[in-house]
Structure 1
Amino acid sequence: MRTTGKLLYTAKTRTSQGRENGIARSSDGQLDIRLAAPGSARIGTNPEQLFAVAWSACFQTAIVQVARKQKIALPASSAIDAEVDLRLENDSYFISARLNISLPGVDRTVALALVNEAHQICAYSKATRGNIGVTISLT
């Protein structure tokens, strides 16, 4: 586990009662949500949705950083549709994910190069590499 490097930020949260009927709050009060199991009638989000949002936001930022470094203009309409699957096999839960990236107006070869480099520097991509099934596609 890497613990070197300059510490930029520490997220602090408290979750109680898990995904079924839980609540989660950040120490700064900016996040205060109810949790619900996927498909539940209960009002709330689930960990897979939160992970999808977090990873896609990080990946989008990585694309912006790579494009800026290479002096490539990105369209304001660029977006990432993230899908995170909760799976069960042999009584063991795991996740898989798909990131569907849209960079309209960017040459496909250039867009693929941006996405590939972004995947190398995105913190969530690094954290999941080799641990879960991931498909990244350019739409």
Structure 2
Amino acid sequence: MQVLYTAEVSATGDGRNGHVASSDGILDFDVATPKEMGGVGGATNPEQLFAAGFAACYHSALRLVARRAGVSVEGSRVDARVGIGPNGSGGYGLEVWLTVSLPALEPGAAQQLADAAHQVCPYSNATRGNIDVHIEVAK
């Protein structure tokens, strides 16, 4: 693989209760364990960051496959939810739900694009076989 871009981010502090910053200074904020996991909340967390990255990356892949197919995806949207919980082996695992909204397309055509995007998206390729990723087309 020819690397086109490398993101560089450092985490400091106490892991989930600390600070993250990118080498270019664009990303620079505190992270905190969510209240639902026994933390104080009040700041973003790794699951939100992962959801944001997955949603943006998948939406880009969706627009790419639509463009290749000559289909307009005007007004499209991708919502990502990332769940975390015990994996039964002493650690934790993730689960992802992507909801794709393509208001200008019929449900069947929208599902075809959503499935095609899942084959192209780097996040989908990285997680395939590792975590459950559910893709649904909004009604």
TM-score normalised by the chain length of structure 1: 0.91
Structure-2 residue corresponding to 1:10: 6
Match of 1:31 among 23, 27, 35: 27
Report the 3-state secondary structure (helix = DSSP H, G, I; strand = E; otherwise coil) of the residue aligned with 1:22. Answer: strand
Give per-residue Cα distances to partners, 1:57-108, cap 9 Å, x unaligned: 00000010011111111122x1111110111134211111111111112111
Using the alignment, how far apart are the partners of 2:50 and 2:41 within structure 1? 19
3-state DSSP class of the match of 1:37?
coil
Q: Is the 8 A contact 1:24 1:34 kept in 2?
A: yes
TM-score by length of 2: 0.91
Aligned-partner residue type, residue 15 of structure 2: G
CA contact (8 A) 2:47 2:82 kept: yes
Say whether 1:105 aligns with 2:100.
Answer: no
RMSD: 1.1
Identical positions, percent: 41
Paired AA for residue 131 in structure 1: N
Structure 1 residues not aligned, in runs of 5+ = none
Work out the number of aligned pairs and report it: 133
**Runs (4+) off by over 2 Å:** 40-43
